[in-house]
Amino acid sequence: MAASAFPLFPAGAIPAHLWLDGAFVPWHDATVHVTAMGAGAGVAVFEGIRAYGSGDGEALNVFRLHEHLERLLDSMTMMRMPLHHSADDLAAATIELLRRNEARGDTYIRPVAYYSGLEHNSFGDTLGAPPSLLIWNRPTGTQLLTERGKHVSISSWTRIADNQMPPRIKAMSNYQNNRLAQLDARVSGYDDTIMLTATGKVAEAPGACVFLVRRGEVITPSVTSGILESITRDAIIRLCRERLGLTVIEREVDRTELYVADEIFCCGTAAEVTPVLSVDRIAARAGGMGPVTRQLDRLYHDVVRRIDEGYAEWRTEVERA
Ligand SMILES: *Cc1c(COP(=O)(O)O)cnc(C)c1O
């Protein structure tokens, strides 16, 4: 079992600063009082964004920065958090943070909107109150262009639903659902898991959307199948259609379709493109990383690093200081 073969954050330098409510604050000064945690716990939405070094090493390319920040604002709206920064303001703050921290190589960026103030003693106190906004970055690793793959189970834990804890909100608290499912799978000897909706349709893996390839078509659960509206998923759909000329179908997906798929892979900012080698110990028919997955691994790698000049609107370039 290769639980965390690729840590998101390799041991290494902590950046000098983070951005907190409009100011650049020394990393170690950005603390929350212990008594605030009771009121603030769980009331937080976030984004995970990656910036990749360009092919020539001259710049960092933040992948789909604006789409991520728009989704943060969407998450805040759905959580009844007043918006007090625009996506443009947050994009400018992110770029300035990367410059100040002299981010060089592949970097992970985490914006968070949360309540931590001592004045918020109950959930009601947060009504109409602007949350704190935080952006931090750290060096990260990448799995793109490596031989890899996961053996996954189908979880007995059901994916949360829109009328309970909406998966469309990128909320910290939603991750308890993923966490229970993932740890359960690991205890049972799997690398990871895929969750089903309450009606038994495929939803997603913890923090990553699911695709399968069958009879030459690419299929992925629709945005009403208990998934987060993943920005990587959108990029993969477009690369499949526009670069590989493949038919992509967004619809409800049955568990047993995964058993007879030629290829299965997951995608997301953290997961990038992750091949799934088996589901419930039934091997995907391609055996190893299949041909479509391999082409997407290469294409995604080349686009995020601007080796492939296409999709320029997906990259915000931050030149080295
Ligand atoms: C962030 C996330 C994803 C991946 O979304 P991207 O926009 O591709 O990073 C998938 N599922 C969940 C639950 C997530 O929180």
pLDDT in tens, 195-217: 999 999 999 999 999 999 999 99
Residue recorded with tokens 């589901």: 279
11 or 149: which leads in pLDDT: 149
Range scoring the smallest mean pLDDT among 12-16, 126-130, 282-286: 12-16
Please state, in angstroms and rounded to a whole number, the distance separating the CA atoms of residues 177 and 6: 22
**For the residues 306-314, what does the mean pLDDT come to?**
97
Phi-psi region of 28 (alpha: psi -120 to 50; beta: other; left: phi over 0): alpha
Question: Tens digits of per-residue pLDDT, 221-279?
Answer: 999 999 999 999 999 999 999 999 999 999 999 999 999 999 999 999 999 999 999 99
> Cα 70 to the chain's mean position, in Å?
14
Helix (H) or strand (E) holding 231: helix 231-242
Q: Is the pLDDT of residue 186 over 90?
A: yes
Q: Is the dihedral of CA 91, 137, 159, 267 positive or negative?
A: positive
Q: Is the pLDDT of residue 37 over 90?
A: no
Please state, in angstroms and rounded to a whole number, the distance separating the CA atoms of residues 1 and 59: 36
Within 6 A (CB) of ligand 1 lie 48, 170, 204, 207-209, 228, 230-233, 268-269
Read off the amino acid at residue 237.
Answer: I
Residue 130 near residue 105 (C-beta atoms within 8 A): no
16 or 40: which leads in pLDDT: 16
Residue 203 near residue 159 (C-beta atoms within 8 A): yes
Q: What percent of the chain has pLDDT over 90?
A: 85
Atom of ligand 1 nearest to the CA of 64: 7
Residue 111 alpha carbon to ligand 1 centre in Å: 14
Q: Is the pLDDT of residue 153 over 60?
A: yes
The per-residue pLDDT of the chain, averaged, comes to 94
pLDDT band (50, 70, 90) for residue 58: confident
pLDDT band (50, 70, 90) for residue 1: very low
Residue 30 near residue 20 (C-beta atoms within 8 A): yes
CATH code of the domain occupying 3-139? 3.30.470.10
pLDDT at site 3: 41
Residue nearest to atom 9 of ligand 1 (CA): 269
Q: Is the pLDDT of residue 5 over 70?
A: no
Instruction: Tally Cβ neighbours within 10 Å of residue 121.
Output: 13
pLDDT band (50, 70, 90) for residue 321: low
Catalytic residue among 150, 170, 201, 315: 170
Residue 209 alpha carbon to ligand 1 centre in Å: 7
Residue 269 alpha carbon to ligand 1 centre in Å: 7
pLDDT at site 2: 40
Range scoring the smallest mean pLDDT among 30-39, 66-75, 79-88, 174-183: 30-39
Q: Is the pLDDT of residue 24 over 80?
A: yes
Atom of ligand 1 nearest to the CA of 206: 13
pLDDT at site 120: 83
Residues 6+ apart with CB under 8 A from 101: 15, 16, 17, 137
Phi, psi torsion values for 189, nearest 5 degrees: 90, 10
* 3-139 against 150-304: fold identical: no
170 belongs to the catalytic site: yes
In the structure encoding, which two tokens stand for residue 90, read together?
A: 């947050």
Residue recorded with tokens 């091949």: 275
Q: Domain-by-domain residue ranges, the chain? A: 3-139, 150-304
> 3-class secondary structure for 25-75?
EEHHHCCCCHHHHHHHCCCEEECCEEEEECCCCCEEEEECHHHHHHHHHHH
**For the residues 68-97, what does the mean pLDDT come to?**
97
CATH H-level, domain 150-304: superfamily:
D-amino Acid Aminotransferase, subunit A, domain 2 (3.20.10.10)
Single pTM value for the model: 0.96
**For the residues 180-185, what does the mean pLDDT come to?**
98
